[in-house]
């Protein structure tokens, strides 16, 4: 480790202090930290909106939110969680971890990296601020289908502007990540020697480059329909609102995988570490990730089976969607096989990783069920779909983010988190998450529609259970905030290598915390 | 060409190709619906 310590102190470490350090920083660790704090802030705001939704649905009848405001809450909850919380959180992980894991000194374009981040607070402010403009925020759902989105007020314009900005940020971020991975790997680190987290991010970044301009195109057309007299999606002017849905979901379905592939990467790092075995079937994991990414681009219309399409189209999109279960199954098999006969221990990151596998598989199965056309036509726009995608995005993406934070906190801060509180966080999250969302399967199957602030009396009991679960889940995340802050401020000093089974470069070649400038001389990978 | 310059050129070329892809897809989507 002597060489490593030399690396830590050998650099003229001049950078501004105070707020200017964060405004002007080009350091990937600073920028990664800012991404993570920003996404957690947005997670709390999106979570507040979720609490509002569940409070309203606690009982039948209108309780605290008028229907118009309820619709704004559901719309902004989705937009903020997808674009403001989950995606920036994974970019934060990429910023911190990709250079450390490939032995690079920083991201390829450090100034662009700073710019990518600082666009986010602007977009976040526009989204949140849209609640306070005349007419309120966008209320047509996070998918902003026309004609609702072509008819809304100023809030829709702010949302369109915010989505443009977030898209630009994502595109710059993904170009940066691809360029870094392709050009700045340490000598000896061939593509097939890269850690799985890096592989998943490389593939995710390509997906972003492919689909973000599609989203940008569709929101630009929405904007011109609203203000410049075009009729791309206006049926009265010869346009086609269903075309919007096709284009949106050509972006929207790969977007789901943009939010889950890096999660696969994090879990693929944690499970081998705490099983003390190499990842089972590394190359099949790489090919499975690439297969999922490719297939994700040919399944978009399964979101629109009820919008009307030829039978042959329905069959194609149904079978193509089911096909995704194959590479996903390969991944689940490989994670399980990695654990098989391993010397497993169950620290908090491992608990969240195993929780991820259990619950993501449930979300995957309900996804295959939704892919079957006759069933989808029954459950379309019901709480069954809500339950399905929250199993994928909360117990999938969010649990993996928690796992990753606990796993890399010692590397980022130099301190250990409280293992006892971490385990409390996991078990409470596990309990309340299932309390919230498992019952929503039954609500959906019984026919309760989504995006409605009131409901029939027959749905009352399950809704009350779901709301209690949601309040518990929300409060549990404040415990997570406490754990992270107390780790940073007063956590026990981390050993040089807190996880004995870790094998990637950031654990084997760098101390804890990672120095401000790392790998100025690239390590040799054998 | 020094190794450093060559590396910078490669990074630049990668980024330009990716950026051109983004612009091409953006324009294609709008023209296709036009």
Cα angle vertex A178, ends A173, A179, to 5°?
95
Rg from Cα positions in chain A? 23
- Does residue A5 register a pLDDT over 70? no
* Active-site residue, A240 included: no
* Active-site residue, A201 included: no
Q: Which is catalytic among the residues A28, A29, A54, A253?
A: A253
> A107 to chain B, minimum CA–CA distance in Å?
11
Asked if A175's CB is within 8 angstroms of B15's CB, the reply is yes
* Active-site residue, A39 included: no
- Does residue A15 register a pLDDT over 80? no
The mean pLDDT value of chain A amounts to 95
**What are the chain B neighbours of A171 within 8 Å (beta carbons)?**
22
3-state secondary structure of A347: coil
> B3 to chain A, minimum CA–CA distance in Å?
12
CB A497 within 8 A of CB A507: yes
CB A342 within 8 A of CB A334: no
Q: What's the confidence (pLDDT) of residue B3? A: 81
* Active-site residue, A227 included: no
Structure tokens at B28: 């294609």
CB A210 within 8 A of CB A142: no
Asked if A108's CB is within 8 angstroms of B15's CB, the reply is yes
DSSP secondary structure, A70-103, as one string: HHHHHHHHHHIIIIIIIHHHHHHHHHHHHHHHHT
pLDDT, average across residues A229-236: 93
Task: Using the Cα atoms of residue A197, residue A123, residue A112 and residue B24 in order, give the sign of their dihedral.
Answer: positive
In chain B, count H helices and then E strands.
Answer: 1, 0
- Does residue A1 register a pLDDT over 90? no
Q: What's the confidence (pLDDT) of residue A152? A: 86
> A244 to chain B, minimum CA–CA distance in Å?
9
Interface membership of B23 toward A (CB under 8 Å)? yes
- Distance (Å, rounded) from C-alpha A302 to C-alpha A304? 5
CB A57 within 8 A of CB A124: no
Q: What percent of chain A has pLDDT over 90?
A: 95
Identify residues of A whose CB sits under 8 angstroms from chain B CBs.
108-109, 171, 174-176, 178-179, 182-184, 209-210, 212-214, 216-218, 220-221, 232, 243, 247
**What are the chain B neighbours of A204 within 8 Å (beta carbons)?**
none
**What are the chain B neighbours of A178 within 8 Å (beta carbons)?**
14, 18
* Active-site residue, A420 included: no
End-to-end alpha-carbon separation of chain A, Å? 17
Cα angle vertex A266, ends A260, A272, to 5°?
130
3-state secondary structure of A104: coil
Q: What is the pLDDT of residues A274-331, one digit of tens each?
A: 999 999 999 999 999 999 999 999 999 999 999 999 999 999 999 999 999 999 999 9
- Does residue B1 register a pLDDT over 70? no
* Active-site residue, A441 included: no
In 3D space, the residue among A260, A295, A508, A270 whose CA is nearest the CA of residue A397 turns out to be A260
CB A396 within 8 A of CB A260: yes
In chain A, count H helices and then E strands.
Answer: 20, 0
* Active-site residue, A17 included: no
Q: Which is catalytic among the residues A170, A174, A180, A436?
A: A170
Asked if B29's CB is within 8 angstroms of A218's CB, the reply is yes
- Does residue A82 register a pLDDT over 60? yes
Q: Tokens 């929503």 — which residue?
A: A440
> B32 to chain A, minimum CA–CA distance in Å?
10
Half-sphere exposure of A71 (CA within 13 A, CB side): 17
Peptide bond into A147 cis (omega under 30): yes
User: What was the ipTM of the complex prediction?
Assistant: 0.95
């Amino acid at each position: 480790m002597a060489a490593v310590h030399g690396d830590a102190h050998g650099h003229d470490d001049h950078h501004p202090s105070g707020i200017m350090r964060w405004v002007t920083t080009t350091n990937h660790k600073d920028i990664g930290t800012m991404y993570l704090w920003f996404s957690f802030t947005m997670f709390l705001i999106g979570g507040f909106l979720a609490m509002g939704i569940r409070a309203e649905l606690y009982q039948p009848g209108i309780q605290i939110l008028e229907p118009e405001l309820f619709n704004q809450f559901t719309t902004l909850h989705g937009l903020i969680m997808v674009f403001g919380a989950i995606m920036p959180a994974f970019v934060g992980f990429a910023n911190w971890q990709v250079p450390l894991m490939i032995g690079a000194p920083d991201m390829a374009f450090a100034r662009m990296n700073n710019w990518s981040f600082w666009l986010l607070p602007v977009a976040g402010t526009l989204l949140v601020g849209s609640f306070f403009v005349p007419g309120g925020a966008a209320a047509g759902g996070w998918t902003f289908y026309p004609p609702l989105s072509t008819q809304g007020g100023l809030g829709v314009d702010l949302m369109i502007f915010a989505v443009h900005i977030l898209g630009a940020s994502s595109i710059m971020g993904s170009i940066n990540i691809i360029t870094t991975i392709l050009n700045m790997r340490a000598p000896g680190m061939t593509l097939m020697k890269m850690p799985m987290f890096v592989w998943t991010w490389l593939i995710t970044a390509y997906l972003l480059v492919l689909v973000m301009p599609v989203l940008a195109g569709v929101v630009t057309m929405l904007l011109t329909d609203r203000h410049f007299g075009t009729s791309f999606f206006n049926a009265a002017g010869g346009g086609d609102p269903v075309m919007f849905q096709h284009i949106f979901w050509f972006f929207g379905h790969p977007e789901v995988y943009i939010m889950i592939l890096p999660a696969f990467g994090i879990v693929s790092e944690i499970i081998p570490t705490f099983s003390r075995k190499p990842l089972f079937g590394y190359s099949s994991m790489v090919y499975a990730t690439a297969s999922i990414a490719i297939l994700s681009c040919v399944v978009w219309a399964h979101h629109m089976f009820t919008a009307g399409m030829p039978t042959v189209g329905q069959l194609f999109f149904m079978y193509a969607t089911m096909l995704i279960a194959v590479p996903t199954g390969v991944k689940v098999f490989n994670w399980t096989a990695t654990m098989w006969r391993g010397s497993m221990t169950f620290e908090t990151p491992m608990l969240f990783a195993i929780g991820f596998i259990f619950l993501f598989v449930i979300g995957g199965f309900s996804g295959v069920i939704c892919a079957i056309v006759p069933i989808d036509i029954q459950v379309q726009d019901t709480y069954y779909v809500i339950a399905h995608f929250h199993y994928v995005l909360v117990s999938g993406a969010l649990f993996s983010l928690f796992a990753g934070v606990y796993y890399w906190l010692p590397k980022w801060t130099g301190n250990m988190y409280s293992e006892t509180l971490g385990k409390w966080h996991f078990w409470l999250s596990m309990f309340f998450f299932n309390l919230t969302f498992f019952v929503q399967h039954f609500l959906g199957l019984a026919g309760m529609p989504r995006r409605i602030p009131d409901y029939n009396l027959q749905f009352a009991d399950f809704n009350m259970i779901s709301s209690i679960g949601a309040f518990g889940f929300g409060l549990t995340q404040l415990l997570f905030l406490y754990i992270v802050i107390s780790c940073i401020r007063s956590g026990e000093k981390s050993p040089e290598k807190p996880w004995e089974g870790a094998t990637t470069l950031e654990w084997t070649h760098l101390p804890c915390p990672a120095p401000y400038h790392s790998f100025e001389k690239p390590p040799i990978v054998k | 060409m020094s190794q450093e310059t060559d590396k910078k050129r490669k990074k630049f070329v990668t980024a330009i190709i990716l950026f051109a892809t983004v612009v091409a897809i953006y324009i294609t989507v709008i023209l296709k619906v036009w």
